[in-house]
C-alpha cells in the first residue's frame, strides 16, 4: 500500500486555505483605506507583480519553488488583474450591487463576471481537445467525449513549466468556482436558497475529501501543494454558500473588526510556509 502523507497534505492544504481569507481581507482593507484611484493603480501593479513572479518561476530551480512562485504569482494576478479590474469597470460604468434587505449580497464586479463564460469555455476547449494533462476534471471529459480515441485526439501535453501549470490551475479553478457560484446565486436560474445550490455546495464539500484522498498519495511538496489548490478551491465553494446564508460570520469581510483572528491566520500561514520551504530544502539536500 502506498504511503499516505498526512502531515504534508494537511500543511499544503492549510497554506493554500489560508490564502483565501487573507486575500479577501487584503481586498477589503485596500477598499476601505485607500482612495479609488489608489486602489486601481495598486491593483494594476499587484497584477503585474504576479505575472512577473510567475515568469520568474519558470527559471528557478526546484519543483517546490516553481510551484510557490506560480501559486503566489497567480494569487496576485487574480486579485489585481481580474477581481480589481472587474471592480474598476463595474464602478466606472455604474453597475449596481445586488441588494437584499438594504444590505449588499453580491458586489457589482461579481455580477458581471458570468459574462466571461464564453471565454472560459474557449480555454476549456483548448485544454480538453489539445492537451494531455493530469487534471481529473479534464480527463473525465476527455474519456466521455473521446472514449477510445482519447490518446489520439489529446495526444501530447503542453510544454511543462511548473510555475505556469500552477498559475493556470489556480486561475482556471478559481474562475470555474466563481462562475458556478454566480450561476447558483442568480435568481433567474436558481438563487442562494434554492435546494440545487445546497446540493452543489454539499457535492463540492464531498468532492474536496476525494481530492484530498488523492493528495495524500503525493509524496513531493510541489505536487502536494498543486493538488491542494484544487482541494481548497472546491472546499471553499460550500464555505462561500454557507457564509452567504449567514451560517457563520465571514470575518475576512470585516478584517478591521476581527484583527486578532486575522493576525492569527496570517501568522499561521507564514509559519507553515516557512516550514514547507525548509522541509523541501532539507529533502532536496538529503537526495
Q: Which set of grid coordinates corresponds to residue 183?
A: 450561476
Concatenated DSSP letters of 74-141: HHHHIIIIIIHHHHHHHHHTTPPPEEETTEEEE-HHHHHGGGGHHHHHHHHHHHHHH---S-HHHHHH
Give, in order, the Cα–Cα distances in Å from 151 to each of 147, 154, 158.
9, 5, 14
- Determine the pLDDT at residue 101: 82
pTM here is 0.93
Stated length of the chain: 287
- Determine the pLDDT at residue 286: 53
- Determine the pLDDT at residue 283: 67
- Determine the pLDDT at residue 211: 95
- Is residue 252 within 8 Å of residue 262, measured between CB atoms? yes
Mean pLDDT by 10 residues, the chain (287 residues): 87 97 95 93 97 97 95 97 95 90 88 95 93 86 90 85 96 97 94 95 97 94 96 97 92 94 97 93 64
- Determine the pLDDT at residue 177: 97
- Determine the pLDDT at residue 130: 87
Amino acid at each position: 500500500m502506498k504511503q499516505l502523507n498526512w502531515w504534508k497534505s494537511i500543511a499544503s492544504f492549510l497554506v493554500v486555505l489560508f490564502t483565501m481569507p487573507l486575500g479577501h481581507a487584503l481586498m477589503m482593507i485596500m477598499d476601505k483605506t485607500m482612495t479609488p484611484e489608489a486602489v486601481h493603480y495598486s491593483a494594476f501593479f499587484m497584477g503585474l507583480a504576479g505575472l512577473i513572479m510567475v515568469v520568474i518561476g519558470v527559471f528557478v530551480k526546484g519543483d517546490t519553488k516553481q510551484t510557490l512562485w506560480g501559486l503566489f504569482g497567480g494569487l496576485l494576478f487574480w486579485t489585481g488583474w481580474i477581481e480589481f479590474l472587474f471592480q474598476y469597470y463595474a464602478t466606472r460604468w455604474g453597475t449596481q450591487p445586488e441588494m437584499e434587505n438594504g444590505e449588499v449580497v453580491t458586489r457589482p464586479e461579481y455580477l458581471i463576471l458570468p459574462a466571461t463564460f464564453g471565454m472560459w469555455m474557449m480555454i476549456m476547449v483548448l485544454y480538453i481537445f489539445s492537451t494531455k494533462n493530469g487534471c481529473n476534471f479534464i480527463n473525465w471529459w476527455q474519456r466521455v467525449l473521446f472514449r477510445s480515441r482519447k490518446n489520439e485526439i489529446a495526444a501530447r501535453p503542453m510544454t511543462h513549466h511548473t510555475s505556469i501549470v500552477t498559475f493556470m490551475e489556480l486561475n482556471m479553478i478559481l474562475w470555474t468556482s466563481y462562475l458556478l457560484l454566480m450561476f447558483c446565486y442568480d435568481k433567474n436560474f436558481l438563487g442562494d436558497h434554492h435546494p440545487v445550490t445546497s446540493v452543489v455546495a454539499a457535492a463540492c464539500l464531498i468532492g474536496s475529501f476525494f481530492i484530498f484522498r488523492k493528495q495524500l498519495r503525493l509524496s513531493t511538496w510541489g505536487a502536494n501543494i498543486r493538488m491542494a489548490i484544487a482541494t481548497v478551491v472546491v472546499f471553499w465553494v460550500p464555505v462561500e454558500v454557507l457564509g452567504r446564508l449567514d451560517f457563520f460570520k465571514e470575518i475576512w469581510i470585516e478584517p478591521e473588526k476581527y484583527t486578532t483572528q486575522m493576525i492569527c491566520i496570517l501568522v499561521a500561514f507564514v509559519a507553515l510556509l516557512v516550514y514547507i520551504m525548509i522541509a523541501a530544502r532539507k529533502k532536496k539536500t538529503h537526495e
